[in-house]
Amino acid sequence: MSAIVAIVGRPNVGKSTFFNRMIQRREAIVDAVSGVTRDRHYGKSDWNGKEFSLIDTGGYVLGSEDIFEKEIDKQVELAIDEADAIIFMVDVETGLTGMDEDVAKLLRRSAKPVFLAVNKVDNAQRNEDAVEFYALGLGDYYSLSSINGSGTGELLDDLVKVLPEFGDTEDQLPRFAVVGRPNAGKSSFINALIGEDRYIVTDIAGTTRDSIDTKYNRFGFEFNLVDTAGIRRKAKVKEDLEFYSVMRAVRAIENSDVCLLLLDATRGFDGQVENIFWLAQRNNKGIVILVNKWDLVEDKETNTIKHYTQKIKDAIEPFTDVPIIFMSVLTKQRIYKAIETAVAVYGNRSKKIPTRKFNDVMLPIIESYPPPAYKGKFVKIKFCTQLPTPYPQFAFFCNLPQYVREPYKRYLENKIREEFNFTGVPITIFMRKK
């Protein structure tokens, strides 16, 4: 898991320009591998070898031109709540505005590290103009130009210094995150799991100030629920902002091994649910899809589940090897099955296939259907192995790794899935030079 950095500020100051610059390099690679369009407001970045997640909060506010001030305040408060550090962006071209002052007021009260970024400082003249932002009372600022990248290095140098380090948690219990859109039934599900208080074994302070894991012993399984504190805290937020749920999902997903993605059966697997799904996939987390409120679906025929399943699979193509469970928290139907499946997915994610066995199975498969010749050259795969990573990654060693195309990698992935059970777990395949 990594620290979370939120970018706040009024519309048009250049938040998304900065954001795109920061995540471009990495996301381009991820997109090429998964073939999936990314959520444009959340991504991974790194600086000086330190990785962090970056959130462009502006992306979650609608009607950015005539935005209500109240809306921005809320966005800033949530960022203060959830992020480890905040980049507050202002615009030297427009100069200091009342809205900037309001945001600064909120930020001054928070204990989180705040980095004031004066953007659009494209030339020396504007560098002088930037001094007016001292008036915000946030101390020194960073002059930068998101468009040409100047000045961003100084900001990032200081930013990564304050980000918390996340070591591996010594606790070996599966860590489950319950995620989904507002009203999918997440709190109800967790309450059903909690049952009576006696099921809670201990409260363990999480790796961050805000996240509290709670250890459960339920249905004969022991596991940690991630970020349940956050979900309980939700009661305080009256309007269920999509932004808030995304932000919390980001945090919970990063902390987890397996994501239990809940959706409301009557609303379906829509774009927002899909975003959360790909978030979990990109983070290499195990995934179980729980279609909740199945009790509300009327006229269930023999094929209803089949059709529903197919619709979801179409949406999550090509990563379709994911368990889908139809449940009802209300009637307690298949709640046990949900947890049992999550435990199985956890097992798949931590599975290590001995190299000898992996070669014995995969090399004959490769021999019977080798990579197609590319530019007249033949690729010979000689050896393969699972890498010693916390989630399944495989390396195939060959003479011309750059000539192995995406379809063949997908073929290898499908064969791995057929031969060894990796249901619910994203797989990465690397071709390496031997």
Number of residues binding to ligand GDP, judged by CB under 6 A: 31
For residues 278 and 38, is the Cβ–Cβ distance under 8 A? yes
Order across the sheet with 50-56: list the strands. Answer: 42-47, 50-56, 3-8, 85-91, 114-119, 141-143
Determine whether the annotation assigns residue 56 to a binding site. yes
**Distance between CA atoms of 85 and 4, rounded to whole angstroms?**
7
Return the residues of window 214-273 that contact ligand GDP according to CB under 6 A.
none
Determine whether the annotation assigns residue 180 to a binding site. yes
Nearer to ligand GDP (CB atom), residue 61 or residue 287? 61
Nearer to ligand GDP (CB atom), residue 90 or residue 159? 90
For residues 295 and 266, is the Cβ–Cβ distance under 8 A? no
Determine whether the annotation assigns residue 120 to a binding site. yes
The token pair that represents 299 in the structure block = 């006229």
Return the residues of window 337-396 that contact ligand GDP according to CB under 6 A.
none
Contact call for residue 153 and ligand GDP (CB under 6 A) = no
**Distance between CA atoms of 345 and 422, rounded to whole angstroms?**
8
Q: What x/- string results for residues 32 through 71 when contact with ligand GDP is judged by CB under 6 A?
A: --------------------------x-----x-------
- Supply φ then ψ for residue 89, to 5 degrees: -100, 135
The token pair that represents 398 in the structure block = 């060959």
Contact call for residue 184 and ligand GDP (CB under 6 A) = yes
Contact call for residue 329 and ligand GDP (CB under 6 A) = yes
Contact call for residue 13 and ligand GDP (CB under 6 A) = yes
Output the smallest distance, CB 315 to ligand GDP, in A.
Answer: 20
Return the residues of window 107-126 that contact ligand GDP according to CB under 6 A.
119-120, 122
For residues 252 and 199, is the Cβ–Cβ distance under 8 A? no
Contact call for residue 146 and ligand GDP (CB under 6 A) = yes
**Distance between CA atoms of 233 and 236, rounded to whole angstroms?**
6
Determine whether the annotation assigns residue 184 to a binding site. yes
**Distance between CA atoms of 178 and 244, rounded to whole angstroms?**
15
Length of the chain: 434
Which listed residue (1, 8, 16, 431) binds ligand GDP by CB under 6 A? 16
For residues 138 and 116, is the Cβ–Cβ distance under 8 A? yes
Output the smallest distance, CB 427 to ligand GDP, in A.
Answer: 29
**Distance between CA atoms of 380 and 382, rounded to whole angstroms?**
6
Contact call for residue 127 and ligand GDP (CB under 6 A) = no
Stretch that binds ligand GDP, among 44-52, 168-176, 292-300, 306-314 (CB under 6 A): 292-300
User: Which residues make up the interface to ligand GDP (CB under 6 A)?
Assistant: 9, 11-17, 58, 64, 119-120, 122, 145-147, 180, 182-188, 292-293, 295-296, 328-330
